[in-house]
Amino acid sequence: MRFVLPLILFALSGSASADVVSINGAGATFPYPLYSKWFSEYRKVDPGVEINYQSIGSGGGVRQLLEKTIDFGASDAPMKDEQLAKAATPIYHFPTVLGAVTLAFNLPGFTGELKLTPELVADLFLGKIYYWNDAKIAAVNPGVALPDVPVMIIHRSDGSGTTAVFTDYLSKVSPEWKTKVGSGTAVKWPIGIGGKGNEGVTGFLKNSPGAIGFVELLYAETNHLQVASLKNAAGNFVRPSVAAVTEAAAGALKDIPKDFRVSITNSSGKSAYPIASFTYLLLYKKSAPAKSAKLKAFLGWALGDGQKLAESLFYAPLPAELAARARAQIKEIE
């Protein structure tokens, strides 16, 4: 009980200072590490604003934004037309950074480079390849010794933006995947075992020889997972990296529409990594004036100086030209 009183006093003193504007947002979990860094760094730039963010998932972010229980939302996938139609005033999409989904695997003793083509990835996740030394994998990896180990597919069990990006990619490169499974935050996986969250998939991968699954680049890097190089639309095999992800956006630049709602998987850039996506902040055109001014200032910072913080956390910064386009859109918020 001794600790409770000071806590209450502290909470009261915090809410009593009227000059700090408190802004609430919620949504995607994927950019959460970067966003929380942004929000804490931004307090140094402008001590008069406090931004709270709850990483409840993209779907939850969109739902809460439509119900107007938060000031801004965040989502890995752009909102659909029918969702936008439900909003009282127009909603703007601001791409903030890019993320990539890597194909990580666990083959003990394997040290070479594993190359995968889009067809191979689709076949693996459709359950058509049973052993690692399958002739189809060997044909793409000449001279590489692949073990006689059964393939174990790991996917996400929870609905997630990561799943949406990965299945969007598979739907683009494999007509069979598109008709049989389709794309979305949760799908009916034809095969495999489901892990909860990137950390669940990572845990299964690390403990299961012969396993292959998909995780965010951040998790693959920080957990030192083996990752596959992927053949992109231009025909080059590309290892996932921050630079290759930014390249995916740069390669798709001319196809990015005015409202930024676009999928950049299977991008045409020469050295682009093919499973990449934007993550967005979602703002209403109209909101309370005090909050909206602060939010606009924050966005300007995040799409400018804030971009420099991205790379250290394995997020890919926006290509300069695109960041400028996103900054220009800030003016349209009232």
Partner 1 sequence: MSTASPITSPSPSRRPSTRPINPGDRLFRRVLMGLSGVVVAVLALIAIYLAKLSWPAIHEFGLGFFWTTDWDPVKEHFGAGAFIFGTLVSSFFALALAVPLSIAVGLFLTELAPPRAAAVVGFMVEMLAAIPSVVYGLWGIFFLAPLLRLYVQPFLGRHFGWLFLFQGPPYGIGMLAAGLILAIMVTPTITAICREVFRAVPNTQREAALGLGATKWEMIRLAVVKSSWSGVFGAGILGLGRALGETMAVTMLIGNRNEISTSLFSPGQTMASVIANEYAEAGSNIHVAALAYVGLALFVVSFAVNHLARRIVKRLEMGGTR
CA 145 to chain centre: 33
- Considering beta carbons, is residue 185 or 229 the nearer one to partner 1? 185
Contact region for partner 1 (CB under 8 A) — 32-40, 88-96, 201-209, 244-252? Answer: 201-209
- Considering beta carbons, is residue 146 or 186 the nearer one to partner 1? 186
User: Nearest distance from residue 60's CB to partner 1, in Å?
Assistant: 5
Interface with partner 1 (CB under 8 A), residue total: 33
User: Nearest distance from residue 75's CB to partner 1, in Å?
Assistant: 10
Token pair for residue 280? Answer: 């967005």
Token pair for residue 99? Answer: 């993320």
User: Nearest distance from residue 168's CB to partner 1, in Å?
Assistant: 11
- Considering beta carbons, is residue 79 or 230 the nearer one to partner 1? 79
- Considering beta carbons, is residue 80 or 136 the nearer one to partner 1? 80
Say which residues have a Cβ less than 8 Å from residue 88's Cβ, sequence separation at least 6.
68, 284
Q: Which residue has the tokens 């604003």?
A: 49
168 membership: H or E segment, kind and range: helix 161-173
**Region 53-72 residues binding partner 1, contact defined as CB under 8 A:** 56-60, 62
* Distances 157 to 9, 77, 105, 186, 206 between C-alpha atoms, Å: 42, 18, 18, 8, 17
- Considering beta carbons, is residue 209 or 300 the nearer one to partner 1? 209
Distance (Å, whole) CA 320 – CA 254:
14
The per-residue DSSP string of 221-282 comes to HHTT-EE-EEE-TTS-EE---HHHHHHHHHHTGGG--TT-----TT---TT--SSEEEEEEE
Helix 32-45 with 289-302: angle, nearest 10 deg: 110
Q: Which residue has the tokens 């999928």?
A: 263
**Region 107-166 residues binding partner 1, contact defined as CB under 8 A:** 150, 152, 157-161
- Considering beta carbons, is residue 43 or 172 the nearer one to partner 1? 172
Sole binder of partner 1 in the list 192, 213, 317, 319 (CB under 8 A): 192
Under rule CB under 8 A, residue 194 binds partner 1: yes
**Region 77-96 residues binding partner 1, contact defined as CB under 8 A:** 80
Q: Is 34 helix (H, G, I), strand (E, B) or coil?
A: helix
- Considering beta carbons, is residue 132 or 204 the nearer one to partner 1? 204
User: Nearest distance from residue 310's CB to partner 1, in Å?
Assistant: 23
- Could you list the residues that contact partner 1 (CB under 8 A)? 56-60, 62, 80, 150, 152, 157-161, 181-189, 192-196, 200, 203-204, 207-208
